[in-house]
Chain A
Amino acid sequence: MPKAGSGLSLDGLGMPLWLVIELTYKCPLKCPWCSNPVDFDRYRNELTTQEWKSVLREGRRLGSLQLGFSGGEPMLRRDLEELVEEADRLGYYTNLITSGVGLNPKRLRALKKAGLKQIQLSLQACDQELNEKLVGLDVFDHKISIARTIKAEGFPMVLNVPVSRYNIDQTEAFIELAADLGVEYVEFANLQYYNWALLNRAELLPTREQLARSEAQVNAARERLGKKLTIYFVVPDYHDQRPKACMNGWGSIHLTIAPDGTALPCQEARLIKGIDFPNVREHGLDWIWNTSPGFNQFRGDTWMKEPCRSCSEREKDFGGCRCQAFLLTGDASNTDPVCAKSPNRHLIDDLISGAEKRESCGSKPLIMREGGYPRRTDVI
């Protein structure tokens, strides 16, 4: 995903510069904040190798440059190497976004040969015990050893840390580990609360104090390490007074293709009810990007309501995130409730104050990402 300061305010001339293909929703891990849909196992008709290749070709024709292979766990697709090779031939800068499960030295070498440029590896905790608790499987040692192999094979690497109340106090340990592994970038991705993360939000949200400490530690490490390690700190938007400039604007530079071929302006967008998102099995990518109603719904600013409509900051944050507006206010065209100017900001403030009053980590169980959700007995 685009990082702050990585040329985000870039004028893409209306082209989908960033293409993310989610090869599958399947994944052996069970992160209770997973950004995949809660009913992910309903989408089983994954695109075939040939269908993905045609998406890649059409994407290049539309001007896509950066390509992310994501999921689910992209390593579960046996045709990953073949797709990377095709993408490299077409001229993409190819990024693999993986938990590391399913990666081994042999496949790494094959991916290198296929032209893969960069790997983003997610790590959820700095020790085996907490990591297993958070992802539901004993994979910590494997992740560390595969991180070393990634570096030994000469890939530039981002260590991605999905940050919650559970692991935020390990900020310094993560930085130390990243420096020791010799990675170029570490990304503290404060969780975004959609899908699984939303289900577990009350338990995952860090406190103000935790965040302040973590950010101070990041800043101190930046001073200390300089160019050796670039540290991204993705702002936790709930704790901010302004929303994130989500996706650089709807249908502006970002295009995601879900495992079943549904084309989305961001990976979460299918949670907005009432928008009919087009599918690459039925439509060309050009029509999807330029003409389809789904991609035009929130393009530009004519859809905005007050307070965004007359706000001087609307070119800066595009009114925030449509998914968040939908989830928290019921209407995707409302101002993102994170904004202090939103009449719904109290919803966020209540959550943050609630976080101060909780019992300790682990006193309430987390709902782990698994198939078959929502169960009949759960009401959401």
Chain B
Amino acid sequence: MEIERRISPDDVVELNPNYHFRWEEPQQAHVLLYPEGIVKLNQTAAAILEACTGSSSIAAGTEELSRRYRRRDLSAEVLKFLEVAHAKGWIRVKS
């Protein structure tokens, strides 16, 4: 099996294009929808995905989260979650 590269704060990651991430009113939660699957995300997970995927680096997203939630030491927590998300195929590293 190919060895997975670890994710680093300088990486820019994006949502797997086959996954749809959105707020779902009846569930009062963010959900990830993908071929024949549903994942309901808790608030922390949803906030991280929202802030850290797209066009800016994970570090920049983490800073934004720190500002928003007035917490300093988020980096480890964010990286840990993104590694799990990466292993599950929800996100991919933009080259």
Q: By the criterion CB–CB under 8 Å, are B27 and A93 in contact?
A: no
CB B19 to nearest CB in A, in angstroms, measures 9
Shortest Cβ gap from B20 to chain A (Å): 6
Closest to A154 in B: B17
Q: How far is the CA of A184 from the CA of B2 in the complex (A)?
A: 16
Q: How large is the interface on B (under 10, 10 to 19, 20 to 34, 35 or more residues)?
A: 10 to 19
Q: Does B36 interact with chain A (Cβ within 8 Å)?
A: yes
Check B20–A10 contact: CB distance below 8 A: no
Chain B residues with CB below 8 A from A158, complex form: 35-36
Contact present for A7 and B2 (CB under 8 Å): no
Report chain B residues within 8 Å CB of A63.
Answer: 24, 26-27
Say yes or no for A196: interface residue by CB 8 A criterion.
no
B27 touches A66 (CB 8 A): no
Q: Within 8 Å of chain A (Cβ to Cβ): is B40? A: yes
Q: Mark A49-90, 1 if CB is under 8 A from B, else 0.
A: 000000000000011011000000000000000000000000
Given A118-B18, A223-B1, A226-B2, decide whether A184 and B26 contact each other with a Cβ distance below 8 A.
no
A residues with CB within 8 A of B: 1-3, 6-7, 10-11, 13, 15, 17, 62-63, 65-66, 93, 95, 117-118, 120, 156-158, 184-185, 223-227, 230
Q: B20 touches which one: A15, A17, A117, A226 (CB < 8 A)?
A: A117
Instruction: Please measure, in the bound complex, the distance between the C-alpha atom of A13 and the C-alpha atom of B39, giving whole angstroms.
Output: 13
* Cα-based distance from A156 to B18 in the complex (angstroms): 7
Q: Known: A6-B38, A95-B36, A184-B18. Contact between A13 and B27, CB under 8 A? A: yes
- Give A168 to B27 CA distance when docked, in angstroms: 40
> Sorted from nearest, which 9 A-B pairs have the closest CB atoms?
A6-B37, A63-B26, A93-B33, A226-B1, A118-B35, A156-B18, A7-B39, A7-B38, A156-B35
Say if the beta carbon of B54 comes within 8 Å of chain A: no
Residue ID in chain B nearest A158 by CB atoms? B35
Question: In the bound complex, do residue A3 and residue B37 qualify as a contact, i.e. CB atoms below 8 Å apart?
Answer: yes
A118: chain B residues within 8 A (beta carbon): 18, 35-36
Cross-chain contact of A65 among B2, B18, B33, B35 (Cβ < 8 A) = B33
Distance between Cα atoms of A66 and B24 in the complex (Å):
12
Interface residues of B (CB under 8 A from A): 1-2, 18, 20, 24, 26-27, 31, 33-40, 89
**Can you offer 23 A-B residue contacts whose CB atoms are under 8 A?**
A2-B37, A6-B38, A7-B38, A7-B40, A10-B40, A11-B40, A13-B26, A15-B26, A17-B38, A62-B26, A63-B26, A65-B33, A66-B37, A93-B20, A93-B34, A117-B18, A117-B35, A118-B18, A184-B18, A184-B35, A224-B1, A226-B1, A230-B89
Which residues of A lie under 8 Å from residue B34 when comparing CB positions?
A: 93, 156
Q: Which residues of B contact A10 (CB under 8 A)?
A: 38-40
B2 nearest CB neighbor, chain A only: A226
User: With A63-B26, A223-B1 in contact, do A185 and B38 touch (Cβ < 8 Å)?
Assistant: no
Contacts of A185 on B, CB cut-off 8 Å? 35
Contact B33 A227 (CB under 8 A): no
Give the Cβ gap from B65 to chain A, nearest Cβ, in Å. Answer: 25
Q: Which of B1, B18, B38, B89 contacts A66 (CB 8 A)?
A: B38
Provide the residues of chain B in CB contact with A7, threshold 8 Å. Answer: 37-40
- Give the Cβ gap from B87 to chain A, nearest Cβ, in Å: 9
Whole-angstrom distance between the alpha carbons of A227 and B31 in the complex? 22
Q: Which residues of A contact B2 (CB under 8 A)?
A: 226-227
